[in-house]
A and B are shown apart, each in its own frame.
Chain A
Amino acid sequence: MNIILSLTVSFLAVFGLVVIAFLGVWAAHLDVLFGVIIPYLAVITFFVGIVYRVVKWGKCPVPFRIPSTCGQQKTLPWIKRTYVDKLDNPSNMLGVVGRMFLEVVCFRSLFRNLKLQFGDGQYVKYTSAKWLWLGAIVFHYSFLIVLIRHLRFFTDPLPLFVKVTENIDGFFQIFLPTLYQSGFLLGAAVTYLLLRRVLDAKLRFISLPADYFPLFLILGLLTTGILMRYVLKTDVVSIKELTMGLIHFNPVVPEGVSSLFYIHLFLVSVLFAYLPFSKLSHMAGVFLSPTRNLSNNNRMVRHINPWDYPVKVHTYEAYEDDFREKMRDAGLPLDKE
């Protein structure tokens, strides 16, 4: 699919969702559907879907360790291994935990991203390319902080870690209501990740609507959220009554909640429901990366392929037993006379 079509399809999909939610609440007054039923269905889809996918991944055998690493593996005692090798090419559980920690928390694979460039003459050179890593880390951590901040609608009283997060996020006390940096950093990061796909020819070539749609969806969420908090304003007390009703399984639909809120809620419901079906399930999948979560012990432990089935073999001894007379007549050498 070409870029124009991909962008159009995914943009229209998100725009359609906005229109559906807006018309559903503003014209058809389906507050209960958009405020209670769809969020519950989305959350159920999310949990069932993600567990189903993880179990499905768990059922796939990974018979051999895949040591696609850059470190020296454990071998003869006089071959030196530094702590970098132990982390990059671990031979035990501790090293694997370290490698997974760096992967999940610091996005080490992205950090090691390289760019191939032409050097002098016929040589090529690899240079460090950290922009993707930077965009990704800003995006993911801002999103995490935004999620944690949203717990103020889902907890009562507020846990300490949410208060601390809010205070740090609104540290500069700019604007009123206090401007949260994470929202705007998230916007910048999503914009970068989108532009990166659009402007880089190689990425443009491999990008599909499945790549653009989540970015547009998150941009839509962000826009409605920022509009609600800073510009158009909504009745936060009624919204909390609605969200707390959902959490206590005692749903209430208060009057006077703006349709903007329902658009926001519908988009987040779609994001939750879409997550297990899409590439966004890397949220769970990263923990099951076989090249990252298995120690390189191919030389220490024998790994048996679980899908090896017993093969019927005809050994040489049996062959000789079958044809001994004929072989002797033909003058062929025999192991057993």
Chain B
Amino acid sequence: MYDGGKIITGVVIGLALLTFPFWYNLGRAVTKADPKLPTKEKQCVEPKAYMKTKHMQLLDLWRDSTVRAAKRSYIGFNGVKYDMSLQNTCMSPDCHSKKTEFCDQCHNYTAVVPYCWDCHIPPKEEKPKEVKPKEE
């Protein structure tokens, strides 16, 4: 090989860059998305498969409908009428009341950062109790 040193160095650098995902994940635990479904409410506004892949488009539609057309009622796939509201319908206390246990599960897993929360306020959740320094 001519100029072997330089070429092999280049190949090693190239391979190191191209195999980035393999060595980056070495020794990292395999995580899994584990969204907790609500216990009280059993039925969503649309079937599960639809919600799994297209919920963002539905929410986008709801946003446009309420904010721009002032239409607030939505007929679900089973004929039930719902109020189009992220905070009051989707995330009502009886439904997905905890953002961290539902939304964040898949979003964090697939590294999606939805901009819902630029405007909306997620429902308050009890934070794991921290040991507070005593005030005296």
Contact = CB atoms under 8 A, between A and B. Distances in A.
Interface of A: 47, 51, 54-55, 57-62, 151-159, 162-163, 166, 173, 176-178, 233-237, 240-241, 244, 247-248, 250, 256, 284, 287-288, 306
B31 A58 contact: no
B7 A237 contact: no
B15 A51 contact: yes
A157 B31 CA distance: 9
Nearest to B30: A248
A156 B112 CA distance: 12
A238 B10 CA distance: 36
A180 to B, nearest CB: 13
B100 to A, nearest CB: 16
B106 A250 contact: no
Nearest to A163: B111
B106 A256 contact: no
B2 A256 contact: no
A151 B2 contact: no
A240 B21 contact: no
A240 B109 contact: yes
A60 B53 contact: no
Chain B contact-residue range equals 35 or more
Contacts of B18: 47
A276 to B, nearest CB: 12
Nearest to A240: B110
Contacts of A288: 7
Interface of B: 1-4, 7, 10-11, 14-15, 18-22, 24-25, 28, 30-33, 49, 52-54, 56-57, 59-60, 106, 109-112, 115
Given A54-B7, A237-B110, A151 B32 contact: no
Given A157-B111, A177-B56, 14 more contacts: A51-B15, A54-B7, A55-B1, A55-B11, A62-B2, A152-B110, A155-B25, A158-B111, A176-B57, A176-B59, A233-B57, A236-B106, A237-B106, A237-B109
Contact of B32 (A163, A173, A241): A241
A234 B1 contact: no
B24 A58 contact: no
Contacts of B49: 256
Nearest to A162: B111
Contacts of A61: 2
